[in-house]
Structure 1
Amino acid sequence: MAASEPPRAKLLRDPNFRWLLRGGAISMLGDQLTMIALPWLVLKLTGDTLALGLVIALMSAPRALLILIGGALVDRHSPKRVLMLSKYANAVLLAMLTLLVLNNAPTLTLAITSSLSVTLALNAQVTLWLVYALAFGLGLAQAFGIPSGTSILPRVLAPQQLEQANGMLMGMRQLTTLAGPLLAALLIALAGDSGGAVRDARGLALAFGLDCASFLISAWTLAKVRELPGAAGTAPANNAHPPSVWRAVGAGLAMVWRDTALRLCFSYWGIVALFIGGAMQVALPALGNERLHGATAFGLLMAANGAGSLAGMAAAAIAGARLRMASFGGMVLLADMIVGALVMPLGRINSTWQGALLLLAVGAVSGYMQVAVFTWIQRRVPPHMMGRTMSIFMFIFMGLAPLSASVTGWLLQSITLAQLFAGGGATLIALAALAWLFTPMRAIRTASATNTARQH
């Protein structure tokens, strides 16, 4: 009798997954180019960190506020259709940004003045407002692209393939976070300076143009993906008159609330994001600046964390079932306790290699758990509710973590970095311990690959 084909080899032969993997890799790499090029454009245009903060806020606000609506539309119109439209919208916006940068700035000729200095000042002002508008549009497109992108796998792959597929796709994303910034910096450096109103304009335009092309190519690969028969799940029978978007959002919130396991996990993650999630976004750059005295050190710390995440995701993709505990909730809480213990000494390190080792371990635990969490949600939630559920999950981190980050910046005016890291790690351990002792979360079990029935 011939030996059965390894699951990983079978997944790689699946045409749906191969198209998703190719398109995803191209799109993720393009995303990284814009993440580097857009802040650099603003700084070269204005030299003002306040303007940079406003651009980031304009991208983040619509994404956080509208992601729940995006999830409802995903469930109504299918993840593939919404994801395709979001890719085209991103491509149009990036094409406009590319043309804007290639021109250095739109030429403004007004009869009200003949002063060259006034004309140039108005010219730069209009350019910045156009960048603001395009940044807002990119954030708006992400509000619909993120829930559709995180909801499509259960529609196109068998349940037993989800864990490996999540591990490989998340690992690919982690690879692009390492390679993308290097590629963006190389493009900006090699393309040279255009000598116009915006420094490094040719390199920036090339980065935006390649990201635009990446969205078009990934949209073409997505068109090759076919939903499995019956993958839409069991939608309500009376769908001749679908409910309004707001009622659909409410139905998603109600579904999560009624499911005890989802309610416990989402509530716990929300508390962690509020108290801890955003703190690390502020604390790690401050660590590189204050204790290690250099952007290079900060880059090495982030690279170590990214490498650890990649290793953890690879472990989940290759040996996830063998490493997995029977209790999913217990695994989540134990992982948070480990991460909390690793974070506590970060504020007292004296060299980059010490921080890199700690963050490598943090990344490995976090990367493994990312795959486990996404797989658990995808196996537990009915496909016709997946978009709304994933949008609620993503809102926890995109809506609550920024609040934590703003509070952390205020706290650092009164406490030291060592106190912040020690307190943050201890808080994470305490939250996980309290959830273990006083809630049923530790008893939430890992869903099997064939168990798509929902627990309520």
Structure 2
Amino acid sequence: MTAASDFKAAPAADPRRALFANANFRWLLGGGFLSMLGDQFTLLALPWLVLQLSSDPLVLGTVLALASLPRAVFILVGGAIVDRYSSQAVLQLSKWANALLLGTLAAMVASGTVSLQAVYAISLLIGLATAFSYPAGSSILPQALPPALLQPANGLLMALRQLSALLGPFTAGLLIAGQASGLDTSAAPGRSGLAWAFALDALSFVLSSWTLSRVRLLPRTAPLADAQSVLQAVAEALRWCWRDVELRSLCLYFAAVSFFVGGPLQVALPVLAKTQLPEGAAGLGLLLTVHGVGSLIGMAIAGLRPNWRLSTLGGTVLLIDTVAALVFMPFGHIHASWQGAALLLPLGVLGGLVQVAVFSWMQQRVPPAMLGRAMSVFMFIFMGVAPLAAALAGAALRVLAVADLFTAAGACLLLIVLLGLWLTPIRRIAYLVPAAPRAGV
């Protein structure tokens, strides 16, 4: 039975108190953090395992590709399945699938029977499971909370994800390094630590699946018809997103930003650290950490202070990207890590604020029956664009200096902002006012 208290309108004066008083959010918060922290163990342990099994970087690239390719290919299908059945049911099944896969991998690593072929297969299946868990996870929140609580909830959950990305690899590294330093002599160096890392991630999926079962969702309205095929459902979602002019403009805008800016940064930042920073890899780690901390601060502010807003939502996006463009253009000329950190920290804060605001806007904008597919379309844009952009940046660095690539990326971002300002309705996209709670809930 759905608890009516879980869907009451939030008092505008103190959204934090209303948020933590909501039982659904508390279950989602606890289970989500466990799962996010566990994910970081696998993100570190999987490539380390591959490097123990093979020193060939092509093998590592193949494993990572097998983990990401099915997610990009099937995420639109995953969104259609979520809309047809239940985001909660699909998310639980994907969690159990991941728990089974990672538990199997942990057992094979611990027993010394793991092989590259097994790692290939498990990586492929994990990628397939995430194609369903991503749209399910992004569409469950609007069905579990009243609209007034969406932005603070998204802000805190995204901030926790960023926090787990900072804490998880460090903790997993200590675990694996501790075993590799001789705490366990019964297995290959670090092998026991790797097994524990995969096992703990599997356990996190089991526990988060249990917490998810405690969540009580709003009754579904107009679920996807069984007579409609999955491909028809995907096509319907694409048509719907295209007809919504503001949503279409925002998706195309972010696709352009990801292609011309996000991709180059993936490649150019490590090259800059290697060629221009005296600290080398340590400098790169510092820059990534500082940017991550900035994003964490921005997301936390968006969650704790949802009424701190600049202009319209679209105006805020364009303003922040203008600042980012002005930072990118001279960024390639830095020669000290502290200079890069000073530039990346405020960018991380502003980016975190925008990410939460845009995500919350989409969750309110899209009809509940279309939410899984619409969110999967948004994710597909970034998953499809990112590898192409990274490849293009790598090719560009063969003919451009890293400083020139940063300057070009900043100039492209500024041009994208100007085109968005003059040719699209982005600047007029307003923050949505949360609707009144439905009668009877």
CA contact (8 A) 2:110 2:187 kept: no
Amino acid at match of 1:316: A
Of 162, 185, 210, which residue of structure 1 is paired with 2:150?
Answer: 162
Of 140, 156, 174, which residue of structure 1 is paired with 2:162?
Answer: 174
Deviation of the 1:4 alpha carbon: 8.4
Deviation of the 1:274 alpha carbon: 2.1
Of 395, 400, 417, which residue of structure 2 is paired with 1:415?
Answer: 400
Matched, 1:214 2:211: no
Supply the distance in 1 between the matched residues of 2:13 and 2:309 (Cα, whole angstroms): 21
SS in 1 for 2:305: helix
CA contact (8 A) 1:382 1:452 kept: no
Equivalence map 1:11-410=2 (5 Å): 11-106=19-114, 127-192=115-180, 198-228=188-218, 230=219, 232-235=220-223, 239=225, 241-292=226-277, 293-325=279-311, 327-410=312-395
Deviation of the 1:235 alpha carbon: 4.4
Deviation of the 1:324 alpha carbon: 4.0
Q: Per-residue CA shift, 1:385-413, capped at 9, x if unaligned?
A: 11001000001111111100011111111
SS in 2 for 1:233: coil
Q: Per-residue CA shift, 1:220-277, capped at 9, x if unaligned?
A: 000000002x3x23447xx3x4300000001110110111111111111122222222
Deviation of the 1:299 alpha carbon: 0.9
SS in 1 for 2:306: helix
CA contact (8 A) 1:44 1:199 kept: no
Gaps of 5+ in 1: 107-126
Supply the distance in 2 between the matched residues of 1:452 and 1:289 (Cα, whole angstroms): 54
Match of 1:112 in 2: none
Supply the distance in 2 between the matched residues of 1:434 and 1:452 (Cα, whole angstroms): 38
Gaps of 5+ in 2: 1-10
Aligned-pair Cα RMSD in Å: 1.8
Supply the distance in 2 between the matched residues of 1:352 and 1:77 (Cα, whole angstroms): 49
CA contact (8 A) 1:101 1:198 kept: no
CA contact (8 A) 1:277 1:397 kept: no
Deviation of the 1:45 alpha carbon: 1.5
Residues 1:103 and 1:335: Cα distance change in structure 2 (over 3 Å): same
* Higher mean C-alpha displacement, 59-68 vs 436-445: 436-445
Amino acid at match of 1:189: A
**Structure with greater Cα Rg:** 1
* Higher mean C-alpha displacement, 266-275 vs 67-76: 266-275
CA contact (8 A) 1:105 1:198 kept: no
SS in 2 for 1:320: coil
Amino acid at match of 1:295: A
Supply the distance in 1 between the matched residues of 2:162 and 2:221 (Cα, whole angstroms): 31
Deviation of the 1:5 alpha carbon: 6.8
Residues 1:176 and 1:299: Cα distance change in structure 2 (over 3 Å): same
Residues 1:4 and 1:160: Cα distance change in structure 2 (over 3 Å): closer
Deviation of the 1:199 alpha carbon: 3.4
CA contact (8 A) 1:347 1:422 kept: yes
Supply the distance in 1 between the matched residues of 2:206 and 2:407 (Cα, whole angstroms): 46
SS in 1 for 2:216: coil
TM-score normalised by the chain length of structure 2: 0.93
Amino acid at match of 1:100: M
Supply the distance in 1 between the matched residues of 2:345 and 2:436 (Cα, whole angstroms): 34
CA contact (8 A) 1:174 1:310 kept: yes
- The alignment of Structure 1 onto Structure 2 pairs a total of residues equal to 425
Supply the distance in 2 between the matched residues of 1:264 and 1:150 (Cα, whole angstroms): 21
Match of 1:425 in 2: 410
Supply the distance in 1 between the matched residues of 2:70 and 2:31 (Cα, whole angstroms): 25
TM-score normalised by the chain length of structure 1: 0.90
SS in 2 for 1:256: helix
Deviation of the 1:13 alpha carbon: 1.1
Deviation of the 1:66 alpha carbon: 0.5
Q: Per-residue CA shift, 1:276-319, capped at 9, x if unaligned?
A: 22221112222222212522111111110001001111111122
Amino acid at match of 2:170: L
CA contact (8 A) 2:175 2:193 kept: yes
CA contact (8 A) 1:379 1:452 kept: no
Supply the distance in 2 between the matched residues of 1:452 and 1:404 (Cα, whole angstroms): 42
Q: Percent identity?
A: 48
Supply the distance in 2 between the matched residues of 1:91 and 1:24 (Cα, whole angstroms): 15
Deviation of the 1:444 alpha carbon: 1.7
